[in-house]
Homo-oligomer: A and B are copies of this chain.
Amino acid sequence: MIGEIIAIGNELTSGRILNSTSYFAASHLYAAGHEITAMATIGDEPQMIGKALRESVERADFVVVTGGLGPTNDDITNSAVADALNRPTILYPEIFDKIKESSSFKDMPSLEKLAWLPSGAEILKPGDRIAGYMLIYHEKPIFFLPGVPHQMRELMLDRVIPRLASWGGNNISLVKQKVFKIFGLPEPMIQEMLADLEKNNQQLRIGYYPHAAEVHLSLTVRGKTHEETEARFNEGEISIRKILGCCIYTDNGEMMEAIVGRSLREQKKTLALAESCTGGLLSHLITLIAGSSDYFLGGIVAYANKTKEKILRVKSATLNSRGAVSRETAGEMAEGAKKATGADIALSITGIAGPGGGTSEKPVGTVCFALTDSKKTRTFRYHFTGNRNMVQTKAAMTGLDLLRRYLHGLDFIDSGW
């Protein structure tokens, strides 16, 4: 299908914020087999919004609109749409009830605005806190999504793409898509590993999306019948899984910190961390998950050597002979964190995030890890490329991946970027 994307907000037209949501929408719609012919970004000006919307609906088979669904005065998408498409806003009691329940309602009665939608709007995630709806106009679907990137992404993947896949009478081409999240392999290597598969099986459409330290890979397949689509998709998925193995850590969008958290909870194991170069980033990721206090006892950010010695009981002999960034120091850090907190398992990270501090033997990006339980201590050494922030991110994610592999009984990979 041919689609257009409209992003709304003065924060975009004034160049305060980079429009990454249209990019995300375009890339995933493209991967799902659609063609985007135009994308517009428009300020908070109702008449321009209305005109752009009417023109897009006329030209395209579907339209995705993002932004302007919030409660403040400059959030005017709903009223602009109501005017432009002649769909007066009405109160959606099920949304209003949820708003009244929320703690912020007393302080912000303007939240009521969120419950007034153009008539005919079909809520995309009923019962959820995410705004977003679909309108059918001239027999074409128009999706209205929030401008908040993570909410927009969630609705795009969970609602818009499946809805479009099943849309339309004559043009039915069945589409199946999944996004695999991959950690531990850089994008060019994945492309090379899958090159033969892509060449030999032209029905598979594969998209690559580098995302911080990981790569998201989309597999899209079409068929004339449900059976044909399923068969082609399964064949493709099996091939991809055979090639990439357990570097694929999820196909349902879950964060790795959530997977690790769930495994810890299921196995009734408690965790402690000892971080140096990542400065608390891994602890932060672990505690992003609600309920992480059930399995995460705590972490020590032992940035100075003195702190490594005082709290983690790393021997000064080890620090002097092997250095702060070494498998030996990492091992003692993990053991120290386990002992200090009484956790079942402990992971440590120590490395050189840069830009300073590198040597020819241990260049910037060298990071050592250790993972200890009641039986033994394993150590790892990697080298990560990129600037300080990227090294920190890759190191924290690698720590998380080591925990995932340990908890799932998978092989460890002892090579890095």
Chain A residues with a Cβ under 8 A of chain B:
11-20, 22-31, 35-43, 45, 48, 52, 103-104, 207, 209, 216, 218, 270, 272-273, 275, 277-284, 286-288, 290-293, 296-304, 306-307, 310-311, 340-342, 353-356, 363, 385, 388-389, 392
- Residue from A25, A48, A279, A283 whose CB has the most chain B CB atoms within 10 Å: A279
Which residue from chain B places its CB closest to the CB of A7 in the assembled complex?
Answer: B39
Which of chain B's residues have a CB closer than 8 A to the CB of A24? Answer: 15
Partner of A16, one of B39, B216, B281, B342: B216
Instruction: Using known A-B contacts A280-B282, A298-B303, A310-B340, determine if residue A41 contacts B43 with beta carbons closer than 8 Å.
Output: no
| Given A280-B301, A298-B304, A301-B301; 19 other pairs, CB 8 A cutoff | A13-B26, A13-B35, A15-B36, A16-B30, A16-B216, A18-B23, A37-B43, A38-B43, A103-B385, A273-B301, A279-B280, A279-B292, A280-B299, A288-B389, A291-B356, A296-B303, A296-B304, A298-B301, A311-B340
Partner of A290, one of B38, B342, B355: B355
Which of chain B's residues have a CB closer than 8 A to the CB of A340? Answer: 307, 310-311
Instruction: Using known A-B contacts A15-B24, A292-B303, determine if residue A284 contacts B286 with beta carbons closer than 8 Å.
Output: no
Q: Do A341 and B298 have beta carbons less than 8 Å apart?
A: no
Q: Do B38 and A13 have beta carbons less than 8 Å apart?
A: yes
CA distance A302 to B301 in the complex (A): 11
CA distance A341 to B307 in the complex (A): 6
CA distance A52 to B286 in the complex (A): 45
Which of chain B's residues have a CB closer than 8 A to the CB of A209? Answer: 11, 16-17
User: A288 → chain B, closest Cβ, in Å?
Assistant: 6
CA distance A107 to B224 in the complex (A): 44
Which residue from chain B places its CB closest to the CB of A311 in the assembled complex?
Answer: B340
List 12 A–B pairs whose Cβ atoms lie within 8 Å, in order of A's numbering: A15-B28, A15-B36, A38-B41, A103-B385, A270-B304, A288-B392, A297-B304, A298-B303, A299-B300, A306-B341, A310-B341, A311-B340
Which of chain B's residues have a CB closer than 8 A to the CB of A45? Answer: 37
User: A3 → chain B, closest Cβ, in Å?
Assistant: 10
Q: Do B304 and A311 have beta carbons less than 8 Å apart?
A: no
User: A112 → chain B, closest Cβ, in Å?
Assistant: 16
Which residue from chain B places its CB closest to the CB of A38 in the assembled complex?
Answer: B42
Which of chain B's residues have a CB closer than 8 A to the CB of A302? Answer: 298
Which of chain B's residues have a CB closer than 8 A to the CB of A392? Answer: 284, 287-288
Q: Do B298 and A287 have beta carbons less than 8 Å apart?
A: no
Instruction: Using known A-B contacts A207-B16, A284-B281, determine if residue A38 contacts B28 with beta carbons closer than 8 Å.
Output: no
Instruction: Using known A-B contacts A303-B287, A355-B290, A392-B287, determine if residue A39 contacts B41 with beta carbons closer than 8 Å.
Output: yes
Q: Do B290 and A300 have beta carbons less than 8 Å apart?
A: no
Q: Do A48 and B41 have beta carbons less than 8 Å apart?
A: no
Which of chain B's residues have a CB closer than 8 A to the CB of A273? Answer: 301
Q: Do A39 and B38 have beta carbons less than 8 Å apart?
A: no
Which residue from chain B places its CB closest to the CB of A304 in the assembled complex?
Answer: B297
Q: Do B14 and A36 have beta carbons less than 8 Å apart?
A: yes
